[in-house]
């Protein structure tokens, strides 16, 4: 009888703990652990991390589109990417990191050193044109011959083509329907055409979601497909280090929740060189709260790892936001933007034209 009473008591307490957790999910973890310990069943299991919860939620959301790709347009360019330590390259060139300074165009080794130091200090990637063919060839040769240098197929077309070749048969058609952009390319587009927030000279840390959303809206509203415009552009996949946004003109694309989640997921797996997200190797750095516009009275979003894709709408354009799980010790980041764009397209569905 005593054994039966003990079992009933333990079962009753377990039920109470479950009800409390269900009705009061925000109850401090210390209180829940105290209740659990009263069962004398050992310590309560550690709560899942935001990273593992987000990865699990992605896996549930990422589904194949109903209609698969048959034709894909990929620009024609290819090169060889040399991947190595930037610091080791500067040392091999006889340069030491000094005062950082941005250069719109690189003319010499010193310009390379200053630009590298400038962007390294910001933790940001950069692309700059090198005006001197001879100086560039010398630097490229030194880089290619370093012992730790790795060589990969490069160029947007080659990388995206490789990704699609594993998923569909390719044909080519002369129309631009979708763009993939990072924060530098997005701001350059706005600056070059006097678009919204074009007075910004550069991003200060993580690009503001509201500002990014305003520029994406402007591109699709002013230059995207409409009844009065012959443009075929209906989709933009924006990616920065800590989050992605997919913006689409309504009525042209489906499965975009899965597409933006797949693009963000591959950013973590490729950078860490893992087949699946390892929550111990990644970290969540995306903004936990943000506004959807800095030019209009858009809603304020509070992000939850359990619902990793946030959607909002603005005058016939839909936006899908998801964070990125950033690899703590990245193995390979070259070509990551192209992998992101391609993965998002693989999971996208083009709706038939009416």
Rg (CA), the chain: 24
Catalytic residue among 81, 111, 138, 338: 338
> Phi and psi for 138 in degrees, rounded to 5?
-65, -45
Three-state DSSP class for residue 62: coil
Tell me the DSSP string of 93-158. TT----S----SEE-SHHHHHHHHHHHHHHT-----EE--HHHHHHHHHHHHHSTT-EEEEESHHH
Handedness of CA 34, 38, 43, 47 (dihedral sign): negative
> Phi and psi for 307 in degrees, rounded to 5?
-130, 75
Per-residue CA distances from 267 to 148, 228, 309, 342, 343 (Å): 23, 37, 15, 11, 10
Per-residue CA distances from 327 to 65, 265, 281, 302 (Å): 27, 11, 6, 23
Tell me the H-state helices in the chain. 2-23, 29-37, 50-61, 86-92, 109-122, 133-145, 156-165, 183-192, 209-223, 256-272, 336-346
Contacts of residue 339, defined as CB under 8 A and 6 or more positions apart, other chains included, come to 159, 163, 266, 267, 270
338 as an active site residue: the answer is: yes
CA distance 340 to 260: 9
Measured from the Cβ of residue 342, the count of other Cβ atoms closer than 10 Å reads 26
Residues classed as catalytic: 338
């Amino acid at each position: 009888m005593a054994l039966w009473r003990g079992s009933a008591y333990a079962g009753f307490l377990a039920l109470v703990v479950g009800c409390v957790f269900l009705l009061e999910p925000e109850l401090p973890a210390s209180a829940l652990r105290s209740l659990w310990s009263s069962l004398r069943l050992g310590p309560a299991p550690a709560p899942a991390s935001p990273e593992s919860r987000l990865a699990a939620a992605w896996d549930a959301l990422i589904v194949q589109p109903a209609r698969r790709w048959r034709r894909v347009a990929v620009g024609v360019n290819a090169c060889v990417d040399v991947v190595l330590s930037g610091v080791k390259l500067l040392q091999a060139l006889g340069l030491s990191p000094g005062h950082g300074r941005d250069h719109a165009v690189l003319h010499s080794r010193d310009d390379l050193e200053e630009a590298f130091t400038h962007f390294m200090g910001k933790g940001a990637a950069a692309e700059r044109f090198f005006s001197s063919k001879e100086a560039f060839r010398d630097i490229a040769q030194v880089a290619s011959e370093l012992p730790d240098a790795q060589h990969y197929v490069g160029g947007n077309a080659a990388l995206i083509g490789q990704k699609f070749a594993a998923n569909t048969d390719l044909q080519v058609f002369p129309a631009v329907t979708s763009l993939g952009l990072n924060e530098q390319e997005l701001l350059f587009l706005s600056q070059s055409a006097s678009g919204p927030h074009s007075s910004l000279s550069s991003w200060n840390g993580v690009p503001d979601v509201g500002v990014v959303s305003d520029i994406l809206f402007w591109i699709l509203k002013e230059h995207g497909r409409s009844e009065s415009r012959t443009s075929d552009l209906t989709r933009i996949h924006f990616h920065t280090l800590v989050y992605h946004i997919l913006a689409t003109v309504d009525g042209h694309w489906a499965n975009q929740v899965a597409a933006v989640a797949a693009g963000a997921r591959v950013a973590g797996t490729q950078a860490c060189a893992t087949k699946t997200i390892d929550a111990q190797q990644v970290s969540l750095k995306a903004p936990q709260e943000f506004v959807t516009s800095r030019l209009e009275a858009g809603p304020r979003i509070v992000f939850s790892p359990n619902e990793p894709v946030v959607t909002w709408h603005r005058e016939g354009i839909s936006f899908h936001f998801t964070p990125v799980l950033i690899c703590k010790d990245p193995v390979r980041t070259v070509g990551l933007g192209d992998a992101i764009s391609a993965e998002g397209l693989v999971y996208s569905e083009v709706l038939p034209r009416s």
